[in-house]
Amino acid sequence: MNIFRKTIHGIKGLLSGMRLTFHYFSRPGLVITQQYPENRETLELPPRSRGRIELVKDPQTGHFLCTACGLCLKACPNNSIALEKTRDPATKKMRLVKYEYRFDRCTLCGFCVDACRFEALRMGAHFENAVYDRNELTQDLAGDSPPGAAPGPAAGQSQPPAPPATGDQPAAPEPPKGPP
């Protein structure tokens, strides 16, 4: 009897598989392939796609949410992020001057986004990254914030772990996820 039960079980499994593939086959609307160069204007990337990173602006104030804490910099396994910051003389808070992002070193691993505690960083949707000179891949992401004083420091220069500027945050930052 066991053999019959197993046979019926097996046939059921095969049929349910065939039903699934026919479901996809009979509904061309479910196709997820993008006809990329043709639909460049209307291209919609999946929400979790990873392009180069972007700084997020506060929709109300129009300022960057970044507090220049440097967690992303520490999380980065490739040293592709460098920060330059000043202390605001009025509020005594850290302020971002320059966010240097070296896309030529970035592997789009997303550790910086995971490490950010203020949701000030996200993986962007921009993926057409070809340039003629690799120097163009080094960019200041905080470009439209008030200009900083000096040219950016060499990437890889270590930063002291700046505590988060907001007082209600715990003092010790969580250790960022290490590279695997």
Partner 1 sequence: MGNWIYHPDKFVAALTEWLQQVLGNPLAVELAKMAIGAAALAGFVSVLAMALIYVERKVAGHMQQRLGPMRVGPHGILQTVADSLKLLAKEEITPADADQFIYNLAPLVCFVASFVSLSFIPFAPRIQAVNFNVGLLFLLGVSAVGVLGVLAAGWSSNNKWSLLGAMRAGAQILSYELSATLALLSVVLFAGSVDFAQIVESQRAGWWIWRAPVVGLVAFVIYTISSTAECNRTPFDIVEGESELTAGFHTEYSAMKFAMFFLSEFVNIFIVCAVSATVFLGGWMPFHVGGFAGLNRCFDLLPPWAWFFGKVSALVFVVMWFRWTFPRLRVDQLMHFEWKYLMPLALTNLAAGAVLVTAGLYLFR
- Nearer of residues 31 and 154 to partner 1, judged by Cβ: 31
91 touches partner 1 (CB under 8 A): no
Q: Residues near 179 by Cβ (< 8 Å), separated by ≥ 6? A: 77, 109, 111
- Nearer of residues 48 and 92 to partner 1, judged by Cβ: 48
Closest approach of partner 1 to the CB of residue 15, in Å:
10
- Nearer of residues 19 and 48 to partner 1, judged by Cβ: 19
Closest approach of partner 1 to the CB of residue 51, in Å:
23
Residues 18 to 57: which contact partner 1 by CB under 8 A?
A: 18, 20-22, 24-25, 28, 30-33, 35
14 touches partner 1 (CB under 8 A): yes
DSSP H helices in 26-117? 71-75, 111-115
For the chain, give the longest Cα–Cα distance: 84
Site size toward partner 1 (CB under 8 A) is 14
User: Residue 83's beta-bridge partner residues?
Assistant: 99
Which residue bears the tokens 């990173």? 53
Angle at the Cα of 157 from the Cα atoms of 155 and 159, rounded to 5 degrees: 120
- Nearer of residues 28 and 151 to partner 1, judged by Cβ: 28
DSSP 3-state assignment of 98? strand
Buried b (16+ CB within 10 A) or exposed e, 3-35: eeeeeeeeeeeeeeeeeeeeeeeeeeeeeeeee
- Nearer of residues 2 and 21 to partner 1, judged by Cβ: 21
Closest approach of partner 1 to the CB of residue 28, in Å:
6
**Site residues, partner 1 (CB under 8 A):** 14, 17-18, 20-22, 24-25, 28, 30-33, 35
